Structure formats: C-alpha cells, structure tokens
Amino acid sequence: MGEELQKEYKRINNKRRAILLSLLFIDIALIVVCLCVGSASLSISETLKGIFKIGEKKYSLIIWNIRMPRVLAAVIAGGGLAISGLIMQSVLKNPMASPSTLGVSNAATFGANFAIIVLGMGMMNSSSGTDLYINNPYLVATTALLFAVISVALILLLSHLKRFSSETVVLAGLAVGAIFTAATTIIQYFADSNQLATAVYWSFGNLSRATYLEDLLMTIVVCGAFVFFMFNRINYDAMTAGIDAARTMGVNTRRVSILSLLFASLITATCVSFLGIIGFIGLVAPHIIKRFIGDNHRFLIPATFLTGVGILLIADTISRTIISGLSLPVGAITSLLGGPMFIYLLIRGKQKNA
C-alpha cells in the first residue's frame, strides 16, 4: 500500500513538473511573438536576429531599445500580480481575494492623482498643444507607491486591533479602498482639463511607459517576494487545511499571514505605481492553474507566476494588434479577457459542486 502511494505521489509530481516546463516553453514562445508585434512588424527570423544582435542593426535597435523593456515589464508584472493574488487567496482563505482586495490599487491611483494634479506633474506639450505627458514620472510613481504602502499599513493596523481574520482584512481593504477612491474623485473634481486627462491616462494599464530602470526595480521587489513565498510554501500548504490545523503543526499563522500580505501588497503597489492599473490577473491566474496543479504551493507558486506571465503577454499582443496602428491600454484587455474567464470558472466550479 505504501509503495502504491509513493508511486502515485511521484506520478503526480512528474505531471506537475511537465506542466511547469510546458508553461515555460509557452511563455518563451509568447515573448518571441510579442517582440515581433509592433508598428514595424518583424518576422520570427528577424526578431531572433535582433535578440542575438545578428545581421542588420535596425533589428537589434527595435528589439532592445523599444520592445524589450515592454516585454520584460509584462513578464515581471504579469507573474508578480499573479502570485500576489495566489498568496492573498491562500492566506485569506478567500477565492475572491486579489491584489485589489486590500485597496492597494485605489491608494496608488490616489497617490498618482495627487502628484499629477496637486503637485502639478501633469502637463500639456506646448509645441503641439495637444500631447499630454507627465514631466516627472518617477515622482508620480514614488507618490503612488507611498500611498499604496500607507493603505497596507492602515489595513494591517486595523486587522491587528480587531484580531487577525480574513473577514477583517477584506472588509478593511474595501473600506480603505473606498476612502481613497472618494479622495481621488474630489481631487479630480478640482483639476483642470489637462491635469484630469493626464491622471486618467495614467490610470490605464500601459506597458509602453516601462524602461529598463523600472523593470529592474520591479524585478527586485517581485524576486524578493517570490523567494519569501517559496520559503513559506510548506506553511501555506498547512494553512490550506485550516488555521487551527496549521497552528497544531507549529505554524505562526499570524506572522506568516501578515508578512505574506505585506509582500503581496508591495508587489501590487510597485507594479501599479510604474504601469498603472492592470486588473484580473491576480484573480484569474491562480484559479486557472489550480485545476491542473492542485494546492501544493511548491509547484503552485511558480506555475501561477508563469500563468500570469502568459496572460499579460497575450493581452499585450492583442492590445497592439486588435486595431492597426493603435495600441490599446493593456489593463482594459486583461479585464476583457479576465472577466468572462472568471465567470466561466465560477459556473464550472458551481456545476462541479452540484
């Protein structure tokens, strides 16, 4: 009997490894496709020449100077937002939890609006009189990140005062998010048309604003959080069986939960600060991959990361090809893809439980 269980366990793990490897190859293929797409379409051979800096110099210039920062942002933000949603769902024991549950996106939006409108970072290009731009994007990103961190601190403080529970965190997140949304509306009400247009434009999830420096900063945060999550993978497995069961196994559930939510929120805050609001990835990606991987966080965390990468790369490719010569906000595409997908998952799950 023991040998049969061991063989079955090994078979399931081999299947999980095969899924991970498949996701990795799919993401690599999507990266190449994403690098091919743009105002100047490149063939796969031209794209590969550009990546390895072989042949005509223009290919490498297009790839490395224009498209690679955007693709790297999709990889980092897509994977980061996905594992952020997974950890929130695991810790809060709430399948509807996502990076927006704690109101982090609302707070970051308020911070950006504050910088653009109150601090005057939104300007109009005087030469053309029509082009809107942010004259200090790093100040806007820093302000957005600052308010996002403040929102997380407020929520964790409220949770601490009321004893930590998933219901408390969700309700506190909704309340804090509503406050920041109201504050954003008030600021926008007193803004002029240029500032308002710039603030609204910032809120669109847009990968084209990413640079190598921003990619590096997001990578540091996402990689640091990823290492922390993997280090606590056994704790998450124990908490899946219930908080009381995890405590009997020696897991400090309170400490693990607070630190996990803090790291997950920091990922969201950083990505939103640099790229704007990109929704649904943190909600949908964990649900998709759990159907194939199960609840073993040793495999679930990297698989969710790779799934989030794939979703955002697909959304970015669609955003640049759906209308010729025009790049739509990637945040709108992720919502268009994620909304129906999540409804389908809900219906399928309901039928399965019936």
pLDDT digits (tens, 9 = 90+) for 214-252: 999 999 999 999 999 999 999 999 988 777 778 888 888
Residue 205 counted as domain residue: yes
Best-predicted range by mean pLDDT (13-17, 63-67, 72-76):
72-76
Supply the mean pLDDT for the chain.
Answer: 86
Sorting pLDDT into bands at 50, 70 and 90, what band is 165?
low
Residue 339 counted as domain residue: yes
Domain around 223: 15-353
pLDDT top residue among 47 and 155: 47
Residues above pLDDT 90, as percent of the chain: 38
List the CATH number of the domain containing 347: 1.10.3470.10
- Segment 331-335 shows an average pLDDT of 87
Residue count of the chain, please give it: 354
pTM: 0.90
What tokens were used for 234?
A: 């056994």
Residue 5 counted as domain residue: no
Residue 272 counted as domain residue: yes
- Residue whose entry in the numeric block shows the structure tokens 């308010």: 147
- Segment 306-335 shows an average pLDDT of 89
Predicted local confidence at residue 128, as pLDDT: 42
* pLDDT, tens only, 252-267: 888 898 899 889 988 9
What tokens were used for 240?
A: 């899946």
Query: Which CA distances in Å does 195 have to 113, 133, 274, 279, 348?
Result: 9, 10, 18, 24, 44
* pLDDT, tens only, 35-65: 998 877 888 999 998 999 887 888 899 999 9
Predicted local confidence at residue 280, as pLDDT: 86
Sorting pLDDT into bands at 50, 70 and 90, what band is 129?
very low
d(CA 278, CA 268): 9
Predicted local confidence at residue 32, as pLDDT: 95
Write the DSSP symbol of residue 241: T
Q: Is the pLDDT of residue 212 over 90?
A: yes
- Segment 24-35 shows an average pLDDT of 96
Residue 234 counted as domain residue: yes
Who contacts 281 (Cβ-Cβ below 8 Å, separation ≥6)?
A: 78, 81, 82, 85, 308, 311, 312, 334, 338
Who contacts 84 (Cβ-Cβ below 8 Å, separation ≥6)?
A: 99, 225, 264, 265, 267, 268, 282
d(CA 32, CA 255): 41
Residue 2 counted as domain residue: no
Instruction: With H, G, I as helix, E, B as strand and everything else as coil, classify residue 231.
Output: helix
Predicted local confidence at residue 114, as pLDDT: 93
Who contacts 335 (Cβ-Cβ below 8 Å, separation ≥6)?
A: 279, 280
Residue 10 counted as domain residue: no
Residue 9 counted as domain residue: no
H or E element in which residue 11 lies: helix 2-36
Sign of CA dihedral 317, 328, 77, 47: positive
Sorting pLDDT into bands at 50, 70 and 90, what band is 309?
very high
- Segment 11-22 shows an average pLDDT of 94
Q: Is the pLDDT of residue 310 over 60?
A: yes
d(CA 151, CA 181): 12
- Segment 155-182 shows an average pLDDT of 78
- Segment 318-327 shows an average pLDDT of 82
d(CA 122, CA 176): 26
Residue 94's region, left for phi above 0, alpha for psi from -120 to 50, else beta, is beta
Total domain count, the chain? 1
d(CA 151, CA 245): 31
H helical segments located in 130-278: 137-161, 166-189, 193-203, 212-231, 233-240, 243-248, 253-275
Sorting pLDDT into bands at 50, 70 and 90, what band is 162?
low
d(CA 64, CA 212): 10
